Every structure is written in C-alpha cells, then in structure tokens.
C-alpha cells in the first residue's frame, strides 16, 4: 500500500510539475506579448501624437493656397479683360488703317 501511495504521489508530482512548467512557459509568452503590445502602443503614439499639429498645419496651408488661388483667378480675369481690350483696339486700329489706305470713290454729280 505504501508503494502505491508513493507511486501516486510521484505521478501527481510529475503531472503538477508538467502543469507548472507549462504555466511558466505561458507566463514567458504572455510577457513577450505584453512587451510587443506596449512597444507597438509606444510607436503608434509617437507617430500619431504629432498628427493633430500636422493636420492643423496642412489645413492652414490649404486655406492660404485657396486664398492665393482666388487672387490669381482675379488677376487672370483682369488680364483677360486687358487682352480683350487690346485685341479690340488692335482690330479697330487695323480697320482704320485699311480705310485710310483705300482710295475714296468720288461721287459723280448728276447734272440735268
């Protein structure tokens, strides 16, 4: 009977030793996972921490660019108007020059 108790104790000890070893391995794995999660959290925080400032800076740049674009559009509109006026003046000048060069027909007087 004593031998049976010793064998049962030995078997139980081996089973519990195996369970303890598996728990120790699980603890190591959990520590590695925890370190990886904390590291990725730290890296993500470092990357995303500057995001609001960068977005605000980009928004300000976009606003400034829109303002400059509107100013350029106004300048372009004025330039088009000037070019149209110059073109109209050139057309009038050319017509006037053509009319000056062409000899005028003398009117025939009708006498009765």
Q: Do 45 and 64 sit in the same domain of this protein? A: no
Q: Do 44 and 67 sit in the same domain of this protein? A: no
Provide the residue range defining the domain that includes 75: 60-91
Length of the chain in residues, anyone?
112
Collapsing DSSP to helix, strand or coil, 50 comes out as coil
Q: Can you give the pLDDT at residue 53?
A: 87
pTM: 0.47
Q: Do 35 and 76 sit in the same domain of this protein? A: no
* Dihedral angle of Cα 79, 81, 85, 90, to the nearest 10 degrees: 50
Domain membership of residue 99 (yes or no) is no
- Number of domains the chain contains: 2
Domain membership of residue 107 (yes or no) is no
**For a pLDDT cut of 70, what percent of the chain falls above it?**
90
Token code pair at residue 76: 């372009």
Q: Do 9 and 38 sit in the same domain of this protein? A: yes
């Amino acid at each position: 009977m004593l031998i049976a108790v010793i064998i049962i104790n030995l078997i139980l000890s081996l089973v519990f030793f195996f369970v303890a070893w598996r728990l120790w391995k699980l603890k190591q794995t959990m520590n590695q996972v925890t370190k990886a999660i904390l590291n990725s959290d730290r890296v993500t925080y470092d990357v995303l921490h500057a995001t609001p400032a960068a977005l605000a800076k980009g928004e300000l740049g976009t606003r400034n660019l829109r303002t400059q674009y509107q100013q350029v559009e106004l300048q372009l509109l004025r330039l088009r108007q000037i070019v149209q006026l110059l073109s109209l003046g050139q057309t009038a000048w050319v017509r006037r020059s053509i009319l000056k060069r062409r000899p005028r027909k003398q009117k025939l007087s009708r006498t009765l």
